[in-house]
Amino acid sequence: MKNIKVLGTGCASCKNTMQLIQEIAQSKGVDVEIEKIEELREIMAFGVMRTPAVVIDEKVVHAGGVPLRSEVEAWL
């Protein structure tokens, strides 16, 4: 099972990112655990300067803006 974290302080793009990942994981039948990290201190610990950012299994794979559908599909 993949552990996915969406980092963001709660703007609209962060929510859209979360939804997009959930939706694609569901349609592909991939088992994922999605967490939302809103605490600034935790976000900064990943060293990202742009939100929303996506972390998969403790590795930052994306920062800044909602990811493309094709990108999310490639991660899963």
Partner 1 sequence: MSNIVEQGTAIRSLDRLADMPSRYPLLFLLTASMLWVFLYANLSGLAAAVIAVLPLNQAGHLADSLRFLIYEAPKVLMLLTAVVLVMGMINSWFTPERTRAMLAGRHEGVGNAMAASLGIVTPFCSCSAVPLFIGFVQAGVPLGITFSFLIAAPMVNEVALTLLFALVGWKVALLYLALGLSVAIVAGWVIGKLNMEPYLEDWVREMAKVDPDYKPERLTMSDRLQAGFESVREIVGRVWFYVVIGVAIGAGIHGYVPQDFMAGLMGKESSWWSVPAAILIGVPMYSNAAGIIPIVEALLAKGAALGTVLAFMMSVIALSFPEMVILRKVLKMRLIALFVGVVASGILLVGFVFNAVL
Residue 60's φ and ψ, nearest 5 degrees, are -75, 120
Which of residues 21 and 53 has its CB atom nearest to partner 1 in the complex? 53
- The answer to whether 54 contacts partner 1 (rule: CB under 8 A) is no
Contact between 74 and partner 1 per CB under 8 A: no
Does the footprint of partner 1 cover residue 17 (CB under 8 A)? no
- 7 vs 41: CA distance, rounded Å: 11
Task: Decide if residue 43 touches partner 1 (CB under 8 A).
Answer: yes
Q: Binder to partner 1 among 2, 44, 57, 74 (CB under 8 A)?
A: 44
H or E, element range at 55? strand 53-56
Main-chain phi, psi angles of 5, to 5 degrees: -115, 135
